[in-house]
Amino acid sequence: MVRHQVENHDNSEQYNTLYNVKLDKFEGPLDLLLYLIRKNELDIYDISISIITGQYLEYLKLMKELNLEVAGEFLVMASTLIQIKSNMLLPTREEDHSGEEEEEDPRAELVRRLLEYSRYKEAALLLSERKLLGRELFARSFPAPELQTVEKSDEPLEVELFELIEAFRAILAKAPRESFHEVSAESISIAERINEILSLLQEKELILFDELFENSLDRDYIVATFLAVLELCKLKMIRVRQQTQYGVLRIMPAVVEPVEEPRSEGGGDDVAT
Amino acid sequence: MTTSRLKSLVESLIFVSDTPVSLDRLCGILEEYGREDIRSAVAALMDEYAQPERGIALAEVAKGYQFRTREENGEYVRRLIKIKASRFSQSALETLAIIAYRQPITRAEIEYLRGVDSGGVVKTLLEKKLIKILGKKDIPGRPLIYGTTKEFLEIFSLRDLKSLPTLREIEELSAERMNEQQEELPLEDPPVGASHGNGAVERDGD
Amino acid sequence: MTTSRLKSLVESLIFVSDTPVSLDRLCGILEEYGREDIRSAVAALMDEYAQPERGIALAEVAKGYQFRTREENGEYVRRLIKIKASRFSQSALETLAIIAYRQPITRAEIEYLRGVDSGGVVKTLLEKKLIKILGKKDIPGRPLIYGTTKEFLEIFSLRDLKSLPTLREIEELSAERMNEQQEELPLEDPPVGASHGNGAVERDGD
């Protein structure tokens, strides 16, 4: 209907607005392709790539003419379509087994994606048709008045990971300025490596120094790991041992949960060496 | 320990909680009673509340039981509590559907399935607590993986994830819808992207 | 406009309100109905709920009507609330977040970031076993340093500390939204699904 109106109006401003609204409706290139397939009454398993590609490119052209920003995904899909189209032009070999033939169809991957996408689009529609709590249905989302005096034992805790990190982000946003330097990319990766080493040490009592570098040859990673080890040594949280000169470095936890004696001043000092 | 006493207790407990109460939780509290007795007390209550003239229904959602107002009364309830109904955009619904069916899933996988960048939607869904971070995937780069929450089940009135229609059922529905559309709609008047989501089409399909 | 419909509406309204609902308020919302009809609907509901085997009663309190659990069930109801999962206070969440992401960390450092005294929260988190003392820092005063525990990982279903999402990962989610999707995703208050949006556009075009 929108298109119909567009064609009947010369007023370019209106033209612009109407198309703008319409183009916004496509969630992405897959959505646009599904629309074109339906519009042309094509069999999704046997799409005419030349029709679809032609219309798809027309759409992109139109979007550009209307000065709409064309998201990168639309362009990527355009090149995929052109690629498929040119592959279709290559002579195909007839195979005896139809199954293998299907695999060779240059459209196969795209068809699979379109089918998959249309399924989730349908699933989204079914979700939107459900009765929603807070829209059609209502529950009591407050503590009953007779319970307000009961004191809660707060044993189990309920919180999501996302809330934790959002809390941290909020803190950093309002924390004193100087602390911002510490939060630069580099120091984050040191903190990350400290966490990783600590959690490795929770799993096993001993790690070899070389194991810490197994995952990456990235320079920053190695530097961050090394600084993390130094930091942990300085904090006396790990012990680094060597059996022989130039032998393997072994890393062990220095403290095993000294929760009981936090206040003793001179006592627990020699936990690490 | 008569049945009516147990039913009364169950009614009180479910009523007083601001979140759905699971059978396990009921059994934990009503330790003097047997699991099967509790289960049938719940069933009996559900029957009683199922009568059409009641203003409250006992619903089974998010693996628990919760009293909820009857759907037809929604309009009046909205007048009372004056909340803005939360609504979902197409992209939010698509992303939510993908996560619901494919969890645990990474952002890259979502974006492959949708064909568009989805970082913003994922963030909004996290903020609305409809999805949560489940951890990290054991592949290079260790990307975050996402899944749906209990709130998702509560808001969409789902007992559990299994009560979502299967992808096969959805495929059939989708095929049906596509055929209908091709018959119903002449070329000149194409449905705009989303309009096949129209309620009318859906009802015809039933 | 039968009596049972009105009774159902009254039941929904009183149920969903967190404060007692007065007759005036009911009349204001149920404007299609007469005051006397509403009054008798309330009375009929009170009668129904007055049966001894019910777990909920409709009480008339100072400012109106309110559903309450039956008094004899109080003991069980209190058990429910006792084992109910509680949410983190904002200060506990903040402190825990700082410790999780910046461990090993001293109390002074926590307080520097939060800008407030955090001794009490740290103590609570220690008691709940979400954090532990890792040792002492090798600086003057030798302050204690804190880190998270296994219980912390369990609460968030994390396999290890490596699975904590990083700030960068979360920021990457919203980064794109700022660039391309900003206008496309009015998620805060988006139009209903697809079909409504469509209708609106068509009307605009007229």
Q: Give the total number of structural domains in chain A.
A: 2
Strand, coil or helix: B100: helix
Q: Which residues contact C150 (CB under 8 A, 6 or more apart)?
A: A202
C70-110 tens-digit pLDDT: 989 988 988 887 766 667 888 999 999 999 999 999 999 99
Please compute, for residue A19, the number of CA atoms within 13 A of its CA located in the half-sphere on the CB side. 21
Contact yes or no for B15 and C56 at CB 8 A:
yes
Domain assignment present for A229: yes
Q: Based on the fold, state whether residues A47 and A121 are members of the same structural domain.
A: yes
Residue type, C34: G
Which region holds residue A166: left if phi is over 0, alpha if psi is between -120 and 50, else beta?
Answer: alpha
Alpha-carbon gap, residue C152 to C145, rounded angstroms: 16
Q: What is the mean pLDDT of residues C129-143?
A: 88
Question: Pick the residue with more confidence: A218 or A163?
Answer: A163
pLDDT score of B52: 87
Same domain, A79 and A164: no
φ, ψ of residue B14 to 5 degrees: the values are: -65, -40
Is residue A269 one of the residues assigned to a domain?
no
Please, which residues have CB within 8 angstroms of residue A226's CB and are 6 or more apart in sequence? none
Contact yes or no for A134 and B85 at CB 8 A: yes
- Report the amino acid identity of residue C80: L
Q: Helix or strand or coil: residue A256?
A: coil
Locate B13 and state its tokens. 């407990």
- Contact (CB, 8 A) for A42 and A52: yes
Task: Report whether CATH 3.40.50.720 matches the domain B90-184.
Answer: no
CB B38 within 8 A of CB A108: no
Tokens for B118, please give them.
Answer: 């989805």
Q: Is pLDDT of A94 > 60? A: no
CATH number at A171 reads 1.10.10.580
Q: Can you give the pLDDT at residue C157? A: 85
Cis peptide bond prior to C104, omega within 30° of 0: yes
**Which part of chain B has CATH 1.10.10.10?**
3-73, 90-184
The CA-based dihedral angle spanning residues C91, C97, C98, C101, taken in that order and rounded to the nearest 10 degrees: 180
Contact B40, B32 (CB under 8 A): no
Give C165→chain B minimum CA distance, Å. 7
Amino acid at C36: E
- Helix or strand or coil: residue C66? strand
Lowest average pLDDT, out of A93-97, A248-252, B42-46, goes to A93-97
Statement to judge: residues A124 and A6 lie in one domain: yes
Q: Give the range with max mean pLDDT: B99-103, B196-200, C78-82, C115-119.
A: B99-103
Query: How many CB atoms sit inside 10 A of residue B189's CB?
Result: 11
Beta strands per DSSP E along A54-122: none
Residue A183 sits in the same domain as residue A249 = yes
Which chain B residues are within 8 Å of C169, Cβ to Cβ?
A: 144
Enumerate residues 6+ apart whose C-beta is below 8 A from A199: C160, C161, C162
Backbone dihedral region for residue B197 (phi beyond 0: left; psi -120 to 50: alpha; all else: beta):
alpha
Domain that holds residue A120: 2-90+106-128
Which of A136-145, A263-272, C41-50, C136-145 has the largest mean confidence? C41-50
A177 has pLDDT over 90:
no
Report if residue A143 sits inside a domain: no
C-alpha neighbours within 13 Å on the C-beta side of residue C112: 13
* Angstroms from A247 CA to nearest CA on chain B: 30
Contact C135 A271 (CB under 8 A): yes
Confidence of residue B101 (pLDDT cuts 50, 70, 90): very high
Whether residues C21 and B107 touch (CB distance < 8 A) is answered with: no
Which of residues A144 and B63 earns the better pLDDT score? B63
Residues ≥6 apart with Cβ < 8 Å to A245: none
Same domain as A167, residue A57 = no
- Cα(C8)–Cα(B183) distance, integer angstroms: 43
**Mean pLDDT calculated for residue range B125-133:** 94
Whether residue A25 sits in one domain with residue A115:
yes
| Tens of pLDDT, residues C8-20 | 999 999 999 988 9
- C-facing residues of A in 82-121 (CB < 8 A) are none
Ranking A95-109, A153-167, B44-58, C154-168 by mean pLDDT, the lowest is A95-109
Measured between beta carbons, which residues in chain A are less than 8 angstroms from residue C66?
Answer: 145
Pick the CATH number of B3-73 from 3.40.640.10, 1.10.10.10, 3.40.50.300, 3.40.50.11900: 1.10.10.10
How confident is the model at residue B198, as a pLDDT? 35
Best of A21, A74, A135, A164 to disrupt the C interface by mutation (most C CBs within 10 Å)?
A164
